[in-house]
Structure formats: structure tokens, C-alpha cells
Amino acid sequence: MTSTMLPPAFADLERFAVDWCLPTEAERYARRLASPMQELIDFYDACFPRVEDALSYCDKFSLEELPEDAIHLLHLVYSLVMVAMAVEIFQQPKPVDSADAELARVSAPWP
């Protein structure tokens, strides 16, 4: 039996779910930094065309009533935002000319 994380309409993105449905910005940033550029490009190329559909799906629910699969989908979108900077601007996982840039938050919005 295979467990899925995303809504059925997003089955084509399921292969990215385990690695990229991360609940915190720090986890998403660490994953981006640890990923080879080709992996970031593959993720971006698959997810970017579906971002509007994903947001429309999530908008069907209030934030307080998001089902678990929609929360995972939203986390995937958040990861796409994090990866987009690396793909579109830096062309590498790490920010350019940033020395040892870190991302540290003391709190974050939910979900």
C-alpha cells in the first residue's frame, strides 16, 4: 500500500512530496542548500506550472480547516518559492555574495 501526501489532483507532484513538503522555512532553506542544482531545477520545472492550480485548491478551505493533504500541498508551494530564488536568480543553491547566509526565525506563521 502506497501512502500519498498530496491531493489526488496533484499526483504528478507526489514524487517531490517527501523531500519538499517541509513545515518550516528553516527546513526548506536547509534542503535547498543541500540539494544539487539539477534537483532544484527538476523540482522547479515540475511545480512552477502547477502553482496557480495548487493555490486555487488550497483557497477552497479556510486556514483553520485545511485538510492534511492541502497543508502538504501548501508546504510544497512554500518550497517552490524557496527554490525559485536559486533557479531564477542565483543559478546555484546558495545565495550569491552572501558569505555564510543563514535563515533563522524565532516564529513562523501556520501552516
In tens, the pLDDT along 51-83 reads 999 999 999 999 899 999 999 999 999 999 999
Max mean pLDDT among 42-51, 59-68, 81-90, 93-102 falls in 42-51
Q: Is the pLDDT score of 1 beyond 50?
A: no
User: pTM score, two decimals?
Assistant: 0.86
38 by DSSP, 3-state: which? helix
Domain boundaries of the chain, sorted by first residue: 10-89
